[in-house]
Structure 1
Amino acid sequence: MITIIPDIHTDPQRLEATLAATDGPLAFLGDFIDGGGQGTCDRTVLTRVLGLIDEAAVAVMGNHELNAILFHRGLRADSSKNRDQYRSR
């Protein structure tokens, strides 16, 4: 059985708790970034998920990743909200 994990939103504790409760193949449904709250960490979550992908998990990009790419490519408004939302944590 494949465990499907959606919307981690930069929450390493939630990711680790979810992983501890699963066994077998993993499929991530994006939205790894853009948590914005206390205890969130884009880099920690992305590094962990990339390691799992190297071990055989699969993942698709979510709308939050797409929006961040568009912002950093100059294709999304350069507003203070977007600058704060898409800066690395």
Structure 2
Amino acid sequence: MEAYPDLKANENMMQLSEELTTTENKVAFARQSFNDQIMEYNTYRQSFPQNVLAGSFGHSQDAALLEFEDSAAIQEAPKVSF
């Protein structure tokens, strides 16, 4: 391995890149799941008689979705350089 130190570094970078991609996919999935549940909750809360009960307990606004200002940047994997 000492004769080819770049090979080991390249393998490590590939593994890091794969782990970053996997993590980004997990975050995107969790965000989508969260937003789906919020939409389901908001629809349920707006139906009768839940809307009357929710209003009487102070739940007068819809729950907020998890959104980001720069959604295009979220779609890209972060750049890693050493």
Q: TM-score if structure 2 supplies the norm length?
A: 0.30
Instruction: Say which structure is richer in strand.
Output: 1
Greater gyration radius: 2
Instruction: Say which structure is richer in helix.
Output: 2
Q: TM-score if structure 1 supplies the norm length?
A: 0.29
